[in-house]
Amino acid sequence: MTIPVPPDGAASQGTSTRPYLIRALHDWCTDNGLTPYLAVYVDASVQVPAEYVKNNEIVLNASFEATSGLQLGNEFITFKARFSGSAREISVPVDHVIAIYARENGQGMAFPAPPVAGEAAAVEAPEDGARGGLRLASTPAAPSESPDDSPADDTPPEPPGGGRPALKRVK
């Protein structure tokens, strides 16, 4: 049996693995009683409350308790969430998710940020070894939540010691 090869000899790209990995890690967090957080690169294609965006990034609580109508699709992640008591529609292109991780322990996965408009497709890695300027949000150990506040409102505090938080690889 022979496997057909495309005429140009290049392998087919297929669909992105990112939405599947996001759904898998969201399920893993939920199954283990952890809170899934999404770190999102924000540009004009992302619909989030602008007042919560810092350095073109926002961290969203994507737990079922903090969202309504959560849809983890192949192209977009959509849901409703409360910010300062006001319900807001959230829409994030899957390729703008730069990390998904558990709030409680930081375990999760980071993804490359999407290319910035006008930026060349091939981006050189910074000398310090960082991947495309990816910065991760801090992950507090166990912040207290009052019953009146939505978890989506939480702004994660700085990690103890002022160091940069890191994601742990899930095996």
Assess whether pLDDT exceeds 50 at residue 106. yes
Give the pLDDT mean for 84-88. Answer: 94
Beta strand 36-41 pairing with 57-61: antiparallel
Give the pLDDT mean for 105-133. Answer: 63
Domain residue spans in the chain?
18-138
pLDDT band at 120 (very low <50, low <70, confident <90, very high): very low
Architecture of the domain spanning 18-138: Roll (2.30)
Assess whether pLDDT exceeds 50 at residue 123. no
CA distances from 102 to 106, 128, 129, 170 (A): 5, 26, 24, 11
Assess whether pLDDT exceeds 60 at residue 8. no
pLDDT in tens, 55-66: 999 999 999 999
